[in-house]
Amino acid sequence: MAAFAQTPAYSPPRTADGRPDLGGVWSNSEVDAKFDPPEDQLPFRDRASAMVWREKYGTYMKGLPFPEFTAGVDTLPNRDRCLMAANAAAPPMTSQGYNDAYQIVQTPKVVVISVEMMDETRIVPVFASADEARAAHGPRVLERWTGDSVGWWDGDTLVVETVHLNVRQARQSPYPTSDDATWIETFTRVGADALKYHVEVVDPAIYTRTWTVDYSFHSTPRLWEYACHEGNYGMANILSGVRKVERDAKVGARR
């Protein structure tokens, strides 16, 4: 009887080269992400400094700007200017709270991950083995915005290792990292509408041990356009308002 109760292993659709087909549009909204250790117990080496980082991030996510961004319109960050997202396509790919659709395009040699959030995209070259992939990491001087990612297949699982994440990108992440951090992600098709995601964060400068996040993407119909700033007029309106205030101040000073 036990044999009848067992769920047969899922057999994923495959590409022409025989690999599991990860392509499609996936979402991590409304997922139960499992942190190990729990998210509120991450193994910070210097908890006080980490809490300062996380308080800044929490303030930003509540809609309140970082103190250094309040000096004037000239210091608005790239995210507020709708130029670049904050850690959307870069690891760890945890939920942004909205615009959580990810489109994966897969070829034998490249996997591309495009995110609805501000159209951020990560390009992952895929190699024949872990050794070959790791040897392909570029020097730190070639710092990429979403990090230097390389991939390889481990059976039916795509493994992606990322180093050299741009610190200016990482600073708006809820998870402090150093220049020497390494992220190891795995993507496994576990159902017609499910893609299992696992990420390990290795950063001895910030954390006393490796920590992980697990969840499953669910399929979603399409990747919507990210029409930032009310049809992209927001930044122009912000600037025109500020310039009027500046002109009025000059007129008042001459009186």
Question: Greatest CA separation found in the chain?
Answer: 93
Average pLDDT over residues 80-87: 70
128 or 99, which is more confident?
128
Least confident span in 42-56, 74-88, 176-190: 74-88
Residue 62, pLDDT score: 45
Q: Residue 68: its pLDDT value, please?
A: 52
Q: Tokens representing 197?
A: 């995601």
* pLDDT at residue 186, rounded to an integer: 98
- pLDDT reading at 135 higher than 60: yes
**Which pLDDT does position 60 carry in this prediction?**
47
Query: Measured in Å, how far apart are the chain's first and last C-alpha atoms?
Result: 93
More confident residue, 66 or 125: 125
CA–CA separation, 29 vs 147, rounded Å? 23
- For the segment 182-199, the average pLDDT, to the nearest whole number, is 96
- Strand ranges (E), the chain: 24-27, 34-36, 101-106, 110-115, 121-127, 148-154, 157-163, 182-191, 194-202, 211-219
Q: What is the pLDDT of residue 95?
A: 81
Spell out the residues 6+ positions from residue 19 whose beta carbon is closer than 8 angstroms to its own.
106, 108, 153, 156, 158
Average pLDDT over residues 56-76: 56
Does the pLDDT of residue 136 top 80, yes or no?
Answer: yes
pLDDT at 243 over 70: yes
Determine the pLDDT at residue 30: 76
In the DSSP assignment, the letter for residue 10 is P
Which residue, 247, 237, 217, is CA-closest to 104?
217
User: At CA 207, angle to CA 158 and CA 114, rounded to 5?
Assistant: 35
DSSP H stretches of helix in the chain? 2-5, 47-61, 130-135, 167-170, 228-232, 234-254
pLDDT score for 21: 98
pLDDT at 4: 39
- The whole-model pTM stands at 0.83
> Which pair of tokens denotes residue 168?
């200016």
